[in-house]
A = this chain, B = another copy of it.
């Protein structure tokens, strides 16, 4: 029997079409699979001159050379938004607009072309998270910005145009719609229950123990209760925290959690394209009792661009309980 499920936070319904009951092997396709080809790569060591000027980089002690980096942050060469200028809001009747002010940066996660975020060392993955945090902390000072959207598109089918592993960051003068919806809903829940809905979700998932993919002392990774796509996974900090930040000044546990999920994807879905987005509170309300930052990860396995995308109503052929089982088998 199929089932209709409602996302507890933003109220989106999905059909879990268990009769279609797709297994991981049903999604594997050689054309999907992420590849590493040989050829000139602007993100590789020695090609620093091909990117715009470095915003930030991690280098070892006594390493000062241009190519002595382990991680670099550079402006996007084709930025969607520009850093110079005023916001200049304007409207015309029911229409509202603003100048395209913002920052668009690229985090080059490693100098090694053949590594991925899943296969690099935990230390390197933690450095990537530190770079996110550090850039966010810096951009917060710019009063024009309300939000920093941190995300990664990996593989061509997930929208990535360069295969060298990298993430992106966009600083925005607005709050993205999905985050605003989560905030509004989390606020309502908190007004009513005087609790954080995400904290309740974590507690309930721990009690039910049917959708936990991975956990350690600080983080929990669960299959979403009403996933839009097969294998949609959320990583949440166990303790209430509204904004993305390290746990006890340490990103090791988060790196471990994220890498564990990505490694499970790579194993059961044969190195699939995927995306993740960090959901965090806006700068204007960065420390509050209702919102709980988290990461949403989804492999890009199916074509969801049709009616689902246009209606906000999704059909998912793999239940999150099955997805959890498949993921845990390879742990």
Contact = CB atoms under 8 A, between A and B. Distances in A.
A16 to B, nearest CB: 8
Given A100-B1, A305-B157, A306-B159, A315 B80 contact: yes
A109 to B, nearest CB: 16
A307 B200 contact: no
B174 A303 contact: no
* Centre residue among A2, A149, A177, A306 by max chain B CB count within 10 A: A306
Given A12-B177, A311-B176, A153 B3 contact: no
B159 A304 contact: yes
Contact of A225 (B5, B12, B95, B225): B95
B304 A11 contact: no
What is the interface of chain A mostly: helix, strand, loop, or mixed?
mixed
A98 B310 contact: no
Nearest to A298: B310
Given A82-B1, A95-B204, A311 B178 contact: yes
Nearest to A12: B177
Given A80-B15, A176-B313, A307 B151 contact: yes
A296 interface: yes
Contact of A304 (B149, B160, B305): B305
Contacts of A15: 80-81, 100
16 contacts: A1-B82, A2-B100, A3-B97, A4-B101, A5-B96, A8-B96, A11-B180, A13-B177, A93-B204, A94-B197, A159-B304, A177-B313, A275-B310, A296-B310, A298-B310, A304-B309
